[in-house]
Amino acid sequence: MNVRFARGRGKSAAGALAVTLMIGLCPWPAFGQARQVPETRQQVTLSFAPLVQNSAAAVVNVYGARVEKRPQNPFMDDPFFRRFFGDGGFGVPKDRVQRSLGSGVVVDASGLVVTNNHVIEGMSEVKVAFADKREVEATILLRDPRTDLAVLKLKAVKDLAAIELADSDQVLVGDIVLAIGNPFGVGQTVTQGIVSALARTQIGVGDAQSFIQTDAAINPGNSGGALIDMQGRVVGINTAIFSRSGGSVGIGFAIPSAMVRVVLESAKAGATTVRRPWFGARLQVLTADVADGLGLDRPAGSVVASLVEKGPAAEAGLQRSDVIQAVDGIMVDDPEAFGYRFATRPLGGMTSLTVLRSGRKVVLPVKLIPAPETRPRDPVALAGRSPLAGLTVMNLSPALAEELAIDAATDGVVIGEIEEGSTAARIGFQKGDVLQALNGERMATSREVETALKERRRAWEVTISRGGQTVTSVFPG
Q: Is 100 annotated as a binding residue?
A: no
Q: How high does pLDDT run on average in the chain? A: 80
Q: Could you report the per-residue pLDDT of 217-228, keeping only the tens digit for each?
A: 887 778 888 999
Q: Could you report the per-residue pLDDT of 105-157, keeping only the tens digit for each?
A: 999 988 999 999 988 887 778 888 888 888 889 999 999 888 889 999 998 88
How many Å separate Cα 460 from the centre of its chain?
Answer: 34
Q: How far is Cα 223 from Cα 215, in angstroms, rounded to an integer?
A: 15
Q: Is 384 annotated as a binding residue?
A: no
C-beta neighbour count of 469 within 10 angstroms: 7
Question: How many Cα neighbours within 13 Å face the side chain of 233?
Answer: 19
pLDDT of residue 95: 52
Q: How far is Cα 191 from Cα 113, in angstroms, rounded to an integer?
A: 21
Amino acid at 63: Y
How many Å separate Cα 468 from the centre of its chain?
Answer: 20
Ordered DSSP codes for 349-371: SEEEEEEEETTEEEEEEEE--BP
Catalytic residue selected from 148, 215, 322, 334? 148
Which among 147, 367, 128, 178 has a CA at the least distance from the CA of 261? 147
pLDDT of residue 10: 36
Q: Is 118 annotated as a binding residue?
A: yes
223 is catalytic: yes
User: Burial of 447 by CB count in 10 Å (0-12 exposed, 13-18 middle, 19+ buried)?
Assistant: middle
Catalytic residue selected from 55, 196, 210, 223? 223
100 CB contacts (<8 Å, ≥6 apart)?
A: 7, 63, 64, 65, 119, 120, 121, 123
Residue 310, classed as helix, strand or coil, is: coil
Quote the Cα angle for 196-224-336, to 5°: 55
pLDDT of residue 16: 33
On whether the CB atoms of residues 199 and 333 are closer than 8 A, the answer is yes
Domains and CATH numbers, the chain: 1-87+94-275 (2.40.10.120), 281-367 (2.30.42.10), 380-476 (2.30.42.10)
pLDDT of residue 443: 93
132 is catalytic: no
Residue 415, classed as helix, strand or coil, is: strand
pLDDT at 79 over 60: no
182 or 426, which is more confident: 426
Q: Rg (Cα) of the chain, in Å, rounded?
A: 25
118 is catalytic: yes
Q: Sorting pLDDT into bands at 50, 70 and 90, what band is 25?
A: very low
Q: What is the pTM of this model?
A: 0.74
pLDDT of residue 99: 66
C-beta neighbour count of 60 within 10 angstroms: 32
55-69, 74-88, 428-442: segment of lowest average pLDDT: 74-88
What does each C-alpha distance from 167 to 171, 211, 431 come to in angstroms? 8, 14, 33
Amino acid at 456: R
Catalytic residue selected from 118, 175, 210, 266? 118
What does each C-alpha distance from 380 to 43, 376, 403, 413 come to in angstroms? 65, 12, 18, 11
For 101, the enclosing helix (H) or strand (E) is strand 96-108
Q: How far is Cα 408 from Cα 393, in angstroms, rounded to an integer?
A: 16
C-beta neighbour count of 285 within 10 angstroms: 14
Average pLDDT over residues 251-264: 90
Q: Is 221 annotated as a binding residue?
A: yes
pLDDT of residue 351: 94
